[in-house]
Structure 1
């Protein structure tokens, strides 16, 4: 197969926000994009539903025999209910991406990228994180419904740990499938728009995600790093989750490297 063959990338959350911006970027480069979202996508599926995740894989297989990259952009935040939130943000990756691994293993210089969040540094519910990492979705949904808003940070902490745990497992990097993530701060997407529209919301964002730059990121500013991690140019990063946050990590943790 020619090394100049068009790459095929599957993007979840492709109908809006960062996922849509990445889809436009890759399409402009001449790459093939398969978009997944609740609606207005090549494949419409609800990643909060386990059965739809399983069916999604079969639908992808009907479109393509292999994938060169998968970028998991789908995510939700409060006021979405905690049970739905944890199923989308954590299990919508940790359950679905391994199901797509055989397609990636047949791809060319395959890459997988997951969007976590700067919120992974915020206070968490340890029990919920443990349930997620143990694969106990029913229990995790129940716990998330009980604790409410902290489900978001907890789901993203679990997701970051899952990326680091999974990236070095057999069948991933040793098979050429490099798995990494990114941890954005505030990005001006439809998910964040309601908070930016009120003084109370902006104050809450500023307290939780302080920055040293003048404005929050646009989706297009996040895309170049995602595109690099999903490309053959990224030939050596494994299990990394760099912060793309306007300095929030530095402000929250200081000079601590770990």
Structure 2
């Protein structure tokens, strides 16, 4: 059974039509949460995956999980290549992507998932908190997408999905730095999509709501809770979740895989919210 602590185990069952056999895809933020779920589901669909993250221990766990998804099936883990990467370092981004292509072949697509959360009212927010959100959530997306776009443009094929947030379009008290950085990533991705469309390359966005990841759990540690998020908070002008549940990472990954797949071959510039109705699908 798929559980919140077991991302990506849906595998082929979640995507009976989305076949990634022998396609090479890069996944950032792949050590845990949504990124790990995306990487595992892609591997389960036959993809070659280059998984990058700052968390080297988490990348090691991803190798273990990839093998466990199909016990005795050595080719599963063989299709996974990992490397540590700080997306804030443009030079290192280019270097790692070149290494990934040398190891796994030409890239066919990107899932840009790496992101961080900084909480705080604007009046108390520090420069460092603001800068960290933008450095990773916006500039990091730019670095990785630029490097991948250059390669895909030459081949005139491929797809890019940026994992943003429903906070990019819906104001959240205490989340100004995060929301603003995700709004930047969303609009950047749309602009990139316009530029790449003439080359046959699609660029889309998946905007999750509250998802059972380490990031969400850190918010609960600051005084929120699963129940409070589901119920909403009128005092903070925040709606609850109509489906009355927190998303699992594999549910967000399913949306990412759809937009990367040929099943979404005529979809580009789209922002797909996966939030259980929390923003009334605005």
Global fold match (TM > 0.5): yes
Partner of 2:49, secondary structure, is strand
Gaps of 5+ in 1: 125-147, 254-258
Distance 1:58 1:22, change over 3 A: same
Judge conservation of contact 1:213–1:246 (CA < 8 Å) in 2: yes
Deviations 1:187-212 (A, max 9, x none): 10111112235653554783345210
Judge conservation of contact 2:160–2:202 (CA < 8 Å) in 1: yes
Cα RMSD (Å) of the superposition?
2.6
The aligned residue for residue 267 of structure 2 is: 237
Deviations 1:151-197 (A, max 9, x none): 1110111111112222111xx12111101011110010111112235
Displacement of 1:220 in angstroms is 0.9
The aligned residue for residue 93 of structure 1 is: 141
Judge conservation of contact 1:66–1:107 (CA < 8 Å) in 2: no
The aligned residue for residue 47 of structure 2 is: 31
Partner of 2:55, secondary structure, is coil
Give the Cα separation in 2 of the matches to 1:49 and 1:15. Answer: 18
The aligned residue for residue 166 of structure 2 is: 118
Judge conservation of contact 2:229–2:241 (CA < 8 Å) in 1: no
Give the Cα separation in 2 of the matches to 1:106 and 1:66. Answer: 11
Deviates more, 1:108-117 or 1:179-188: 108-117
The aligned residue for residue 19 of structure 1 is: 35
TM-score (normalizing by structure 1): 0.78
Judge conservation of contact 1:47–1:88 (CA < 8 Å) in 2: yes
- 1:63 aligned to 68, 84, 103, which one? 103
Deviations 1:16-43 (A, max 9, x none): 0011011111111221111010033411
Deviations 1:35-80 (A, max 9, x none): 0100334111111233433433333343244211110011110158
TM-score (normalizing by structure 2): 0.72
Runs in 1 of length 4+ with deviation above 6 angstroms? none
Give the Cα separation in 2 of the matches to 1:121 and 1:27. Answer: 32
Give the Cα separation in 1 of the matches to 2:163 and 2:21. Answer: 27
Deviates more, 1:20-29 or 1:63-72: 63-72
Partner of 2:179, secondary structure, is helix
Partner of 1:200, secondary structure, is coil
Deviations 1:114-161 (A, max 9, x none): 00101112349xxxxxxxxxxxxxxxxxxxxxxx95111101111111
Instruction: Say whether 1:159 aligns with 2:185.
Output: yes
Judge conservation of contact 2:20–2:45 (CA < 8 Å) in 1: no
